[in-house]
Amino acid sequence: MLGPVTIGDDLLLLAINPRDGRVQAAEHMGTALRGAEALDLSLARRVAVADGRITVTDPRPIGHPLVDRALATLHAEGSAPRLQVWFAERPTEPAVLHQYVGLLADRGVIRVERRGDGGRMRTRLVLVDMERSAYVHTRIENVASHSDRALGSIVHACGLDEYLYPGLRGRSARRRLARLTEEDGLAPDVRDAIDAIGTAVSDMVNRDGTGGATF
């Protein structure tokens, strides 16, 4: 696999339903993936998140094409936008979800299948790297790093946890993800960034409802 693995990559893998090949919580995944990029950049000390805004502190790329493009765009704009503004889809670019699907397909992690279904073309995402997929699930089951906490936080913020841990049986797992930043061992700036980004994603999901790109 080329380049680093990011929170966004793993978020999308968690979202793919292995039974039907659809992306769960797809209508919110664009916002969540932009939030994941902000988390990756914050943990890499490339941006600072404060007062609901995001600011570039170090424009050097981290080696992931989509995250690096987001960083370069933010740096070129030279502003400190509100997180909700930065998370919004850009009309001049393909949908963020489609960009991540294409990247994981190019890396051989998933396969994109398109078939006719009742006169319509249906897209199915097939998990190819099953070992990688299984590992991603352990990241939010056995949280061991700041990045794991950030991943779990964004899973909760975008509502994906409702699909991964549904109903009454999943309630304790959903509560655990909601409280990840309350645990000891997090530096205050890391906790604040994860909380701020998660809150911004959650606010956008609750405000906008459905209507994002789907698969």
Q: pLDDT tier at 1 (50, 70, 90 boundaries)? A: very low
Question: pTM (2 decimals)?
Answer: 0.92
204 HSE (CA, 13 A, CB side): 28
Q: Is the pLDDT of residue 70 over 90?
A: yes
In this structure, are residues 215 and 101 in contact, taking their beta carbons and an 8 Å threshold? yes
pLDDT higher than threshold 90 for residue 208: no
Structure confidence by residue, pLDDT tens digits, 172-181? 999 999 999 9
* Distance in angstroms between the alpha carbons of the first and the last residue of the chain: 24
Predicted pLDDT of residue 183: 75
Q: Please report, for residues 4, 6, 96, 139, the alpha-carbon distance to residue 44 in angstroms, rounded to integers and kept in the order given.
A: 12, 11, 21, 18
Lowest mean pLDDT of 1-5, 11-15, 184-188, 192-196, name the range.
Answer: 1-5
**Structural domains of the chain sorted by starting position, each given as residue range(s) with its CATH number in brackets:** 7-206 (1.10.3630.10)
Q: For residues 124 and 173, give the distance between their C-alpha atoms in angstroms, rounded to a whole number.
A: 28
The total of other beta-carbon atoms located within 10 Å of residue 161's CB is 23
DSSP state of 2: -
Dihedral-angle region of residue 51 (phi above 0 means left; psi in -120 to 50 means alpha; beta otherwise): left
- The pLDDT, as a whole number, for residue 90 is 74
